[in-house]
Amino acid sequence: MFVNVPDAAQLENTALRLYFDAWERTVSLYNDFCDVFPVAIEEVGGKHSFSEEWDEYVGDAQAEMGAICAIIQQAAEIRLKSIICSVSPYLLLLNSEVPLKMGEADLDFTSLRTLDAVDLPRAVRTMTGFELSDSYIQRYGELRKLRNQVAHLGQHQGGLSPSVLMVLLGQQFLALWPDGRWLSRRTEFDGNSARRFFHDDRYSSVETIVMAELPSTRALLDNETFNKAFGVAKGKLDGFCPDCVSAIARKSGIDAESTAYRTGEFTAHCAMCEVDLQLSSASEGCERCNSLLEALVVSDDSEPNVACYGCGHG
């Protein structure tokens, strides 16, 4: 029999890890520059007093950005395989020679040739109900060529920039994860699961890292991409979730970020932990922001977390 047959959910998890690894490295390219030169992250790609330094920085970063492109492409291939695998893993063996069993030995799936990367988008279209747009398939082909330059030559033909990577990342997420849920996926697959071992929730936690990144995420994703990926417009993601605020490591010095949005007059939803919140009017305004709205996590817990919906103050 076959052994080591791939599992669709595990392939998807790997694809998300690679995707968010590329994401984190791309955001760092921006932040490393903007931490030193006083330019707003959303303006750094345009004209400003440090444009020359930015251009030089981007020139020097070509090799690293080529490597990031290879990770983005790898994430796409594995995600496309997971989509095919969700119908049947054996479809991945199409066009390959499967030696029919002679002896007692098991057949190791991982030793068999699976569909070529170049064929994956058309295979998804043919064998699954998943919709891939023509424009995505074209971009996939371009990215694959770029990846091959990096993989076979160790170089590419220049012209990469952090904003090109950002557009690739945005388009890829919407094409391959059309149901969005960006923020909860970002939190679950934070790109470096090994680091979780060290999180003590006092000095560090996953939520701390993702919240610290959130202002950059808002600035770097364009409105339309943000809207589709987060499931809500930037301006409407304005409420604070008691659970996510309390998950920030207290000694990290990181400010809470809004991760929730209104779904009704007295209801809201957190895009980060995906819990529903019940809102109520407090008798006194919040001592920090004056808001009268209090958020309560809807749960079976006898003592659910409560915090100010306007600023997260507990």
Interacting residues with Zn ion (CB under 5 A): 241, 243-244, 270, 272-273, 286, 288-289, 291, 308, 310-311, 313
**Is the CB of 88 or the CB of 299 nearer to Zn ion?**
299
- Which CA distances in Å does 39 have to 46, 55, 64, 286? 10, 14, 22, 34
Quote the radius of gyration of the chain (alpha carbons, Å): 22
Q: How many residues are there in the chain?
A: 314
**Is the CB of 97 or the CB of 284 nearer to Zn ion?**
284
* Per-residue 3-state assignment (H helix, E strand, C coil) for the chain: CEECCCCHHHHHHHHHHHHHHHHHHHHHHHHHHHHHCCCCCCCCCCCCCCHHHHHHHHHHCHHHHHHHHHHHHHHHHHHHHHHHHHHCHHHHHCCCCCCCCCCCCCEEHHHCCCCCHHHHHHHHHHHCCCCCCHHHHHHHHHHHHHHHHHHHHCCCCCCCCHHHHHHHHHHHHHHHCCCCCHHHHHHHCCCCHHHHHHCCCCCCCHHHHHHHHHHHHHHHCCHHHHHHHHCCCHHHCCECCHHHHHCCCHHHCCCCCCCEEECCCCEEEECCCCCEEEEEECCCCCCCCCCCEEEEECCCCCCCCEEECCCCCC
**Is the CB of 150 or the CB of 244 nearer to Zn ion?**
244
**Is the CB of 49 or the CB of 283 nearer to Zn ion?**
283
Q: Quick one: which of 26, 17, 308, 11 has its CA closest to 187? A: 17
Q: Minimum Å distance from CB 271 to Zn ion?
A: 8
Q: Minimum Å distance from CB 211 to Zn ion?
A: 10
Q: Minimum Å distance from CB 307 to Zn ion?
A: 8
**Is the CB of 68 or the CB of 183 nearer to Zn ion?**
183
**Is the CB of 16 or the CB of 272 nearer to Zn ion?**
272
**Is the CB of 77 or the CB of 257 nearer to Zn ion?**
257
Q: Which two tokens stand for residue 277?
A: 């919140």
Q: Minimum Å distance from CB 229 to Zn ion?
A: 17
Q: Minimum Å distance from CB 266 to Zn ion?
A: 17
Q: Which two tokens stand for residue 100?
A: 């029919």
Q: Minimum Å distance from CB 308 to Zn ion?
A: 3
Q: Minimum Å distance from CB 190 to Zn ion?
A: 15
Q: Minimum Å distance from CB 297 to Zn ion?
A: 8
**Is the CB of 7 or the CB of 276 nearer to Zn ion?**
276
